[in-house]
Structure 1
Amino acid sequence: MKNIVLIGFMGTGKTTIGRLLASRLGRPFVDSDKKVEHENGMTIREIFERHGEAYFRQKEKDMIARLSRYNNAVIATGGGVVLSSENMRRLKKNGVIIALTASVETILERTSRRNTRPLLLDFFAREQIVDKLMSERYELYQKADFSIDTNGNSPQHVINEIMLFLRQAGYLRGRG
């Protein structure tokens, strides 16, 4: 059975939706960022600070190479996973790609809860940074098999829409 892979910008709800979706489907849940943190013994923010973004992206690529070989899992990826066409090719080979989207305002509100996002450390430039990065990645997120806006939608609504897509596309049969 194919993996269900959640992509999208930081703060779109990939981890929250992923956990709930995996529970509903009775599948294992994997958060690629958490796996990178665990293997490196430090947070992504610390990885960025000590080794830089290029180092993190390589660790992310190594992790995606392993996770893409899983079967029947729900995988939440980091927001920048789409920057590597190799990552996306691997994930797509054994997975259905679901993009979660949200507005700049929603992302700013959600990501302001914790100061753990290395790309958003400049408080006064956060909106410009989010807007710029989202614009740069927009077309990459659009390559997903299905996309859903999480603005103002409850996690349950988002999961129901994903389930409907998965059933209609033939990825699920009579479950959930």
Structure 2
Amino acid sequence: MKKNIVLIGFMGTGKSSVGSKLAMKLNKEFVDMDREIENISGMTVTEIFRRFGELRFRSEESLMAKKLSLRDNLVIATGGGTVLLPENIEVLRQNGIIILLEATAQDIHTRVSRKKGTRPLLKGSYTAEDIQHLLDERKPYYDCADIRVNTSSKDLDAVIEEIINELNQYETLS
């Protein structure tokens, strides 16, 4: 399968960790969109948000989605908000299978709390309820997924195995 595998989902659902290991397992190249944007811009995502605002970052994200959609054989970890612009998903879907990684609001809270200060959309103090509110707002955007995998209470290997099984089923049905 030369098609790209595109991981979407809220921050803290495991897109980067899962993507990196999945790419190794499937002999594909791993690309983390946020890291690519940081490399090209010379700034962290947090710095881009702080200096130029969310609109500028989303613009960079859209350009990156277009650029990556032209390549083959990738596992792409999108930024948490990539799905907010439908054209990003349209362009990534042209050469990719969209996989949603999900987790409970409590698990996300626990995971992102370990990286306080690196999540521009979760400024100050936030709760699992705040995260649930954001998840509820984004639910319509996540409905674009071809495959859904819940990462809560699963180790990385179990998530990878589930994704590979789902991809095999998806390929059979396509």
TM-score exceeds 0.5: yes
Pair 1:21-2:35 in alignment: no
Conserved 8 A contact 1:120-1:126: no
Conserved 8 A contact 2:4-2:76: yes
Q: CA RMSD in A?
A: 1.1
Alignment match of 2:118 (pick from 112, 116, 119): 116
5 Å matches for 1:1-176?
1-114=2-115, 115-123=117-125, 125-170=126-171
Tell me the CA shift for residue 110 of structure 1. 0.4
Residue type at the aligned position of 1:84: L
Tell me the CA shift for residue 128 of structure 1. 4.3
TM-score normalized by the length of structure 2: 0.94
TM-score normalized by the length of structure 1: 0.93
Which stretch shifts more, 24-33 or 139-148? Answer: 139-148
Residue type at the aligned position of 1:118: P
Tell me the CA shift for residue 126 of structure 1. 4.1
Tell me the CA shift for residue 131 of structure 1. 2.0
Conserved 8 A contact 1:29-1:73: yes
* Separation in structure 1 between the aligned mates of residue 96 and residue 112 of structure 2, nearest angstrom: 27
**Which of structure 1's runs of 4+ aligned residues deviate more than 6 A?**
none
Percent of aligned positions that are identical? 46
**Cross-structure match for 1:174:** none
Alpha-carbon deviations, 1:77-117, whole Å to 9, x = none? 00100001100000111000000000111001100111200
* Separation in structure 2 between the aligned mates of residue 94 and residue 52 of structure 1, nearest angstrom: 30
Secondary structure at the aligned position of 2:121 is classed as helix
Residue type at the aligned position of 1:120: L
* Separation in structure 2 between the aligned mates of residue 52 and residue 155 of structure 1, nearest angstrom: 33
Q: What 5-or-longer segments of structure 1 have no aligned partner?
A: 172-176
Residue type at the aligned position of 1:146: I
Tell me the CA shift for residue 132 of structure 1. 2.2
**How many residue pairs are counted as aligned between the two chains?**
170
Conserved 8 A contact 2:105-2:129: no
Tell me the CA shift for residue 129 of structure 1. 3.4
Alpha-carbon deviations, 1:47-105, whole Å to 9, x = none? 10000000100011111110111101100000100001100000111000000000111
Tell me the CA shift for residue 170 of structure 1. 1.8
Tell me the CA shift for residue 121 of structure 1. 1.6
Secondary structure at the aligned position of 1:119 is classed as coil
* Separation in structure 2 between the aligned mates of residue 126 and residue 41 of structure 1, nearest angstrom: 31
Tell me the CA shift for residue 143 of structure 1. 1.6
